Every structure is written in C-alpha cells, then in structure tokens.
C-alpha cells in the first residue's frame, strides 16, 4: 500500500471515528433527557460532561488538531483563545451572579 493510499485511509478513518464518537456523545445526553427519567441535576451533569468531551473530539478528528503539532502558533492561539473565553464567561457569571444575589 503506497504512502498516499495509507494517508488516504488515515484521513478517512479520522472522519469516521469522529462521526462515531460524536454520534455516541450526542445520543447519550439526548437519551438521558428524552427517555432516561433521571433527575434534572443528573441530566445536567451528563449533558455537560458529554459536551465537554465531544468538543475536543471534533477538534481532534474533524479539525486534525492534536498535541503533536509541529507548528506552535496554532496551539498557542487555541490555548490563548480558551483562556480569554474562560476569563470573559467566568467573569460575567461571577459578576452578574453577585449582582443578582444582592438584588434579591
């Protein structure tokens, strides 16, 4: 099998695995909410966990981003973006939460 063929299969495999993993991680929370009859809290945990796992899976299998990247610029950018998102969302939740509490 030529290396071009090997690469072709590797590329295909990446997307197929990505699809399968994503379908599973989507089906679980949908099942839990639609048919599981668990409590709301349990549902939240299942939904949250599956989302938190599925997103990196998309990055890995559809966007081909993994830790073995030879170019550091892109990884730096993703980590920095993630930091900014955490600061902005976290800060917003903390601040507005504090205000809401003090308005009650």
Positions in the binding site for another protein (CB under 8 A): 3-4, 7-8, 10-12, 14-16, 18-19, 22-23, 26, 29-30, 33-34, 40, 43-44, 47-48, 50-51, 54-55, 58-59, 62-65, 68-71, 73-74, 77-78, 80-81, 83-85, 87-89, 91-103
| Smallest distance, another protein to C-beta of residue 1, A | 13
Helix axis angle for 40-61 and 3-31, nearest 10°, is 170
Q: How far is the CB of 102 from another protein (least distance, A)?
A: 6
Nearer residue to another protein within complex by CB, 1 or 73: 73
- The alpha carbons of the chain give a radius of gyration, in whole angstroms, of 19
Cβ atoms < 10 Å from Cβ of 78: 14
Of residues 1 and 4, the one with the C-beta less far from another protein: 4
Of 42, 53, 52, 58, nearest in space to 86 by CA: 52
Nearer CB in complex with another protein: 1/10: 10
On whether the CB atoms of residues 48 and 54 are closer than 8 A, the answer is no
| Residue from 61, 69, 53, 55 nearest 13 by CA | 61
């Amino acid at each position: 099998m030529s290396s071009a063929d090997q690469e072709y299969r590797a590329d295909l495999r990446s997307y197929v695995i990505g699809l399968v993993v994503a379908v599973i991680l989507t089906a679980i929370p949908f099942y839990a909410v639609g048919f599981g009859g668990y409590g709301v809290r349990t549902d939240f945990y299942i939904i949250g966990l599956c989302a938190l796992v599925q997103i990196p899976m998309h990055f890995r299998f559809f966007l081909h981003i993994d830790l073995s990247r030879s170019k550091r610029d892109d990884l730096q950018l993703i980590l920095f973006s993630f930091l900014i998102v955490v600061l902005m969302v976290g800060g917003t939740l903390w601040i507005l939460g504090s205000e809401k509490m003090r308005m009650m």
